[in-house]
Each structure stands twice: as C-alpha cells, then as structure tokens.
Amino acid sequence: MWKVLVVICTLGNPCTLFEEDPIKWYKTEAECMEMADVKAMNMVQTFKDYGYYIDSEAHSCLYVAQNNEA
C-alpha cells in the first residue's frame, strides 16, 4: 500500500515532513501520486495564505508492505 508524503521548506524555518493523519492508504503508486500533487498544491497555498514564503516543496509516495500482503 502507498501513502502520501509532502515536504515543505519555508524561509527561515526548517523543512517539515507531512503525512496524512490519519494515514490514508492507496492501492497504486499512480493513485497516490495524484493525491500527493493535490495535497502539496493545497498545502503550499495554505502556507502562502498565512504569509509564509515557500523556499521549496517536494512530494512523493512511500510504499509500505502490509502484514496481509504476500
């Protein structure tokens, strides 16, 4: 299963890794990356709305093997 990861670096602050809480699991990497794109764009906009300068942003998906997977 796949989960979304987003890293946002704001000017003057350390980079921060975010993941969905509660974690949502995606069956395919493509589905996960589509959601990662949307989440990252929304988060960057929210940070900008609150006056932060975004130095950099990255997003991806991480594969995590589940106990019930063969």
Q: 40 near 59, Cβ under 8 Å?
A: yes
Q: List, for residues 25-45, the tens digit of each pLDDT value.
A: 999 999 999 999 999 999 999
- For residue 5, the SS3 value is strand
Q: What is the pTM of this model?
A: 0.88
Mean model confidence pLDDT for the chain? 95
Extract the residue ranges of the chain whose pLDDT is less than 70: 68-70
Q: Strands across the sheet with 2-10, in order? A: 16-19, 2-10, 54-63
Q: Burial code of 2-23, b = ≥16 C-beta within 10 A, e = fewer? A: bbbbbebbbeeeeeeeeeeeee
